[in-house]
C-alpha cells in the first residue's frame, strides 16, 4: 500500500485521520511518531513534515500535513468514500469547511489550553496555571455552547444538521475526547450543561463503531494511569509525563 499515515494516537487530529481511513476501508500503513519520545523532531520525520507536527501523510511521493487538509484530500481522492463525509455539492462542502475553520480558534484552542494547564501541568512537575486553565475553559465552554446553538442546528443528528457524519464530526469529536484525561468531576462540570453535545458525541461513536473505540483505546489506557497517579497523590509518573508531552507537542 502506498499511503503512509504518520501519527500518534494521543494526538486528537491523528485519531480523526486514522478513524476516517479505517471507516472507509482505505489501506494505509500507520507509522507511529511517539511525541513523548520527541520523534517528531527527528531528521527522518522532518523530511516528511518540516512543520514537525502529526498527523502527516505520504502518498507515493506526495506529502501533506494539517489534519483537515488530509481528511479533505483522502475524501476527494479515494473512490468509494461515501458522499456524506465530504459532499460533492459546493454549498454543502463550504459549510463543512466553515466549521473546520471555526474549530481551530475555538474548540481546539480552548480544549488544548484547558487540558494542558489543568490536567497535565502537575504531571510535569510544573505548577498549575489556574489563570490559563480558566481562560482555556471559558473558550472551551463558549465553543461547546456555539456547537449547540449554531453547528448542531437542523434536522439530523450531526454537525450542520446532517443525517450522517462528515469529516467535521470526526475532527471535533476526537478533540472533545481528549477531555478524558482530565479529572472526572472537571470533565463532567464542563460537559454536563451541554446535553446536545453529549448526545452528538454518542451518535458519532455509534456511527463509527467499532473503529472509534479501538482508535481511542490508547487514550483510555492513559486515562486510567493518570487516575491512579492522582489517587496516589500525583507526581511526575512516566505515563503522566508521556501524556503531557504528547498533548503539548501535538499540533499546538
Note whether 189 and 134 are within 8 A (CB). Answer: no
Regarding 91 and contact with another protein (CB under 8 A), the answer is yes
CA distances from 103 to 4, 45, 84, 168, 245 (A): 26, 26, 19, 9, 22
Q: Tell me how far, at minimum, the Cβ of 32 lies from another protein, in Å.
A: 22
Q: Tell me how far, at minimum, the Cβ of 80 lies from another protein, in Å.
A: 15
The length of the chain is 252
* Beta strand segments in the chain, E: 3-7, 29-32, 56-59, 62-65
Segment near another protein (CB under 8 A); pick from 2-10, 92-100, 184-192, 195-203: 92-100
Cα–Cα dist 1/138, whole Å: 44
Identified binder of another protein from the candidate list 79, 90, 127, 155, rule CB under 8 A: 90
Regarding 65 and contact with another protein (CB under 8 A), the answer is yes
Tell me the sheet residues that pair with 58. 4, 63
The alpha carbons of the chain give a radius of gyration, in whole angstroms, of: 18
Q: In angstroms, how far is the first alpha carbon of the chain from the final one?
A: 30
Give the residue with the Cβ less far from another protein, 240 or 246: 246
Tell me the sheet residues that pair with 5. 30, 57
Give the residue with the Cβ less far from another protein, 64 or 191: 64
Identified binder of another protein from the candidate list 41, 128, 150, 206, rule CB under 8 A: 150
Segment near another protein (CB under 8 A); pick from 23-31, 32-40, 67-75, 199-207: 67-75
Q: Tell me how far, at minimum, the Cβ of 233 lies from another protein, in Å.
A: 33
Regarding 109 and contact with another protein (CB under 8 A), the answer is yes
Regarding 84 and contact with another protein (CB under 8 A), the answer is no
Regarding 42 and contact with another protein (CB under 8 A), the answer is no
Q: Tell me how far, at minimum, the Cβ of 240 lies from another protein, in Å.
A: 25
Identified binder of another protein from the candidate list 2, 42, 47, 76, rule CB under 8 A: 76
Cα–Cα dist 148/143, whole Å: 9
Q: Are strands 29-32 and 3-7 parallel, antiparallel or unpaired?
A: parallel
Residues that bind another protein (CB under 8 A): 50-51, 62, 64-70, 72-73, 76-77, 90-91, 94-95, 97-98, 101-102, 104-105, 109, 146, 149-150, 252
Amino acid at each position: 500500500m502506498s499511503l503512509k499515515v504518520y501519527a500518534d494516537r494521543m494526538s486528537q487530529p491523528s485519531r480523526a485521520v486514522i478513524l476516517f481511513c479505517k471507516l472507509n476501508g482505505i489501506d494505509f500503513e500507520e507509522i507511529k511518531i511517539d511525541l513523548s519520545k520527541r520523534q517528531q523532531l527527528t531528521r527522518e520525520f522532518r523530511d516528511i513534515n518540516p512543520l514537525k507536527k502529526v498527523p502527516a501523510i505520504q502518498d507515493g511521493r506526495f506529502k501533506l500535513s494539517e489534519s483537515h487538509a488530509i481528511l479533505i484530500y483522502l475524501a476527494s481522492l479515494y473512490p468509494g468514500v461515501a458522499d456524506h463525509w465530504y459532499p460533492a455539492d459546493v454549498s454543502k462542502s463550504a459549510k463543512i469547511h466553515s466549521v473546520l475553520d471555526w474549530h481551530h480558534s475555538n474548540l481546539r484552542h480552548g480544549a488544548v489550553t484547558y487540558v494542558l494547564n489543568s490536567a497535565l501541568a502537575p504531571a510535569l512537575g510544573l505548577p498549575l496555571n489556574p489563570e490559563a486553565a480558566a481562560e482555556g475553559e471559558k473558550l472551551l465552554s463558549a465553543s461547546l455552547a456555539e456547537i449547540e446553538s449554531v453547528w448542531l442546528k437542523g434536522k439530523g443528528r450531526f454537525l450542520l444538521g446532517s443525517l450522517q457524519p462528515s469529516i467535521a464530526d470526526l475532527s471535533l469529536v476526537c478533540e472533545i475526547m481528549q477531555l478524558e484525561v482530565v479529572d472526572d468531576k472537571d470533565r463532567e462540570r464542563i460537559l454536563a450543561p451541554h446535553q446536545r453535545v453529549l448526545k452528538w458525541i454518542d451518535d458519532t461513536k455509534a456511527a463509527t463503531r467499532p473503529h472509534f473505540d479501538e482508535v481511542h483505546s490508547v487514550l483510555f489506557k492513559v486515562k486510567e494511569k493518570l487516575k491512579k497517579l492522582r489517587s496516589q497523590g500525583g507526581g511526575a509518573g512516566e505515563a503522566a509525563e508521556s501524556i503531557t508531552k504528547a498533548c503539548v507537542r501535538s499540533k499546538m
